[in-house]
Amino acid sequence: MRHPCSIHQVHAALGSRSSFSYTCTRGTHLSNLGAPTAEYPTSKELVPILFALICAILLVALDQTIIGVAIPKITDDFGGLDKVSWYGSAYFMTYGGFIPASGKLFKYFPLKISFIISTFIFMVGSLICAVAQNSTTFVVGRAIAGLGAAGVATGSFVIVAFSAEPKVRPGLIGLMGAVYGLFYINLPVGGLSIILLLFFFKTPPQATPIEATWKEKLLQMDFVGVALVMGGIISFILAVEYGGQKKPWNSGTAVGLLVGSVLIWATFTIWEYFNDERAMLQRRLLTYRFVWQPSGFQFFFASAYFVLLYYLPIYFQSVDNRSAIGSGVLNLPMVLAMAVGSTIGGIAASKTRHAAPFMVAGAVLATISAGLMYTFDIGTPLGKWIGYQILFGAGCGLGFNMGITIAQANTSMEDMASVTAIVLFFQSIGGAFSISAAQSAFVNRMVSELGRIAPGIDPQMVIATGATQIRHAFPADQVPAIVQAYMAGIKVTLALVVGLMGADCLLAPFVPRKRLPAQGLQAGVVA
């Protein structure tokens, strides 16, 4: 069922187009006579564009996935577990803060140049991470990389939305999702993506930026909202970092930070509500079921996925005493299964023109496999590691990108960038909160278990020791107790994954089941 147009849409269209007529009755299209007709590149022209976008998504995927395998070794090089949450959350802090703004960026500024600048910023952040000699520099690099990644992620999906007809778009999004599968590798890949887009991508008429004054463009970026999002994330990270680790949970510092985080998020909600069309999360778009339900699905899906991505390598390297390379090899079943599942899901959604069933199937499969992975313990056989990861990866692959597919299929060309950014915002915020919460739960449970089974071992010394160095830094007779404490902490993170995926199982059946359109949407059509 189509929604009636709002006065904001009429006002926006009148302010940006010279010739405009509209109908506001339910069941009719909003027709913009001044809007350009949608044009799509030929299959031959689309190939290098798609390859460039895959390279770009590969940048984001590598930065989000390879860090999990690298974290145990990073804790050795930079010293201890106390900054683990920052390695992931610093990235998601800027990524989540700027992703909604990036939707406005691609709406009001040239698509091609904005995407290339975002890729360059990401490469600078990756270079800083590559040459970092201490944890502070590394965290700064992660934050800069997250800023660039916000534009890269949103831009990739926006470009494919404007470059591919709706009937083939789900398959291409699935193919892009397949690359989700250390940091120096981002530089040549990023350079290749920039070169390909410079020579082969021509901005289609339907992606022409909306005309506005520079003042209006800057107001549309909603920098106040960006600052509030980052402030809310930072205060939450600090709260869970202090709580139970550096100070008691009932201390003034921990409570104050938690209350501060809640107040900042409340302020952000009020600001976005009254900022109306200039808000990065426009309330008009959030009232549409095809936006808020896929956004909620992506929030829980990403929350569970990134917790497992960060703590499974710690399990392999600390509990099972594997090397970083060995841990990466053991993660391959999940990564490869996710790539296959994403490709199959995207193609199937294109053929059947239905995405919701794959969201349900993916959530159920991932929840079952997460429950099976909760049985992981010291000495778990190899067959279980491989089998359970394949199930989880396949489930993630089937469902991970369906939220974006549904949202894009039901929105207008004019709102395409904003809607894409909103869905990715909730996905990134899920990662930021879940990684920080998992780190707090992991450390608190590990310290508690250590105090129970080995009260003579200093827990702060264990926290300050790198995850792969515990067998070298402590006497042999103390190592079994420390490994057991590690396992207890990891169990809590696995339980968190089960709970988050379970929430997705409850939400997935209610996502809109409307068939995906087979033909292109005209600019100005309200879905």
* Residue 219: C-alpha distances to residues 58, 67, 105, 194 (Å): 32, 35, 11, 28
Quote the CA–CA distance of 444 and 488 in Å, as a whole number: 10
Q: Which residue has the higher pLDDT, 1 or 286?
A: 286
Element (H, E) at 506: helix 479-507
Are 10 and 63 within one domain? no
Residues 122, 145 within the same domain:
yes
What range does the domain containing 4 cover?
1-34
Residue 261's pLDDT band (cuts 50, 70, 90): very high
Query: Which amino acid does the sequence have at 265?
Result: W
pLDDT confidence band for 465 (50 / 70 / 90): confident
Domain-located, residue 463 = yes
pLDDT over 90 for what percent of the chain?
14
Segment 7-12 shows an average pLDDT of 41
Structure-token pair, residue 293: 């339900």
Tell me if 118 is assigned to some domain: yes
- Return the number of other C-beta atoms located less than 10 Å from residue 1's C-beta: 8
Residues 61 and 130 in one domain: yes
CB of 235 closer than 8 Å to CB of 119: no
Alpha-carbon distance of 112 to 474, in angstroms, equals 54
Q: Tens digits of per-residue pLDDT, 114-153?
A: 888 988 898 898 889 888 888 888 888 988 988 888 888 8
Sole residue written with tokens 């999360």: 281
Question: Residue 25 falls within a domain, yes or no?
Answer: yes
Assigned domain for 361 exists? yes
Q: For residue 364, what pLDDT band results from cuts at 50, 70 and 90?
A: very high
d(CA 364, CA 96): 27
pLDDT of 184 > 50? The answer is: no
Confidence of residue 198 (pLDDT cuts 50, 70, 90): low
The CA dihedral of 332, 335, 341, 346, to the nearest 10 degrees, is -140
pTM for the whole structure: 0.71
**Cα within 13 Å of Cα(393), Cβ side:** 25
Better pLDDT: 261 or 221 = 261
* Rounded-to-integer distance, Cα 395 and Cα 319, Å: 26
Amino acid identity for residue 152 in this structure = V
Given a cut of 70, is residue 231 above it in pLDDT?
Answer: yes
Answer yes or no: is pLDDT of 41 > 90. Answer: no
Q: Interhelix angle for 135-163 vs 169-177, to 10°?
A: 160
| Sign of the torsion angle spanned by Cα atoms 300, 303, 307, 310 | positive
More confident residue, 43 or 218: 218
Question: What is the reported pLDDT for 92?
Answer: 77
- Residue 392: name the closest of 372, 368, 366 by CA: 366
Q: Supply 14's token pair.
A: 């009148």
The pLDDT-based confidence of 182 (bands split at 50, 70, 90) is very low
Same structural domain for residues 454 and 370?
yes
Copy the structure tokens of residue 444.
């608190």
Per-residue pLDDT, 138: 86
Both 114 and 20 in a single domain? no
Estimate the share of the chain in helix, then strand, then coil, as percent rounded to the nearest 5: 75, 0, 25
Mark whether 317 and 206 lie in a shared domain.
yes
Q: Is the pLDDT assigned to residue 489 strictly greater than 90?
A: yes
pLDDT (tens digit per residue) in 25-34: 333 343 344 4
| Distances from the Cα of 88 to the Cα of 142, 145, 182, 433, angstroms | 8, 11, 15, 10
Say if 273 falls within a structural domain.
Answer: no
Instruction: Give dist(CA 325, CA 96) in Å, integer.
Output: 30
Considering only residues 503 and 23, tell me which one the structure prediction assigns the higher pLDDT.
503
Angle, vertex CA 75, rays to CA 256 and CA 441, nearest 5: 40
In-domain check, residue 447: yes
Q: How many domains does the chain have?
A: 2
Q: Are residues 379 and 348 in the same domain?
A: yes
User: DSSP letters along 239-271, please?
Assistant: HHHHBTTTB-TTSHHHHHHHHHHHHHHHHHHHH
Indicate whether 110 belongs to any domain.
Answer: yes
Q: To 10 degrees, what angle do helices 382-399 and 356-373 make?
A: 160
Q: Cα separations (Å) of 111 from 154, 202, 208?
A: 11, 10, 8
Sign, CA dihedral 90-96-97-101, equals positive
Higher pLDDT, 345 or 29: 345
At residue 192, the pLDDT reads 61
Is residue 460 a part of any domain in this protein? yes
Instruction: Over range 296-322, report the average pLDDT.
Output: 87
d(Cα 386, Cα 191) in Å, to the nearest integer?
A: 35
Instruction: Mark whether 288 and 417 lie in a shared domain.
Output: yes
Q: Based on the fold, state whether residues 445 and 343 are members of the same structural domain.
A: yes
CA 416, CA 408: separation in Å to the nearest integer? Answer: 6
pLDDT band at 75 (very low <50, low <70, confident <90, very high): low
CA distance 224 to 413: 26
CATH number at residue 461: 1.20.1250.20
Same domain? For 444 and 472 the reply is: yes
Looking at the structure, do residues 367 and 456 belong to the same domain, yes or no?
yes
Q: Is the pLDDT of residue 215 over 60?
A: yes
| Nearest to 403, CA basis, from 419, 417, 423 | 423
- Same domain as 16, residue 106: no
Looking at the chain, the whole-number percentage of residues with pLDDT higher than 70 is 75
**Tokens representing residue 507 in the block:** 């939400």
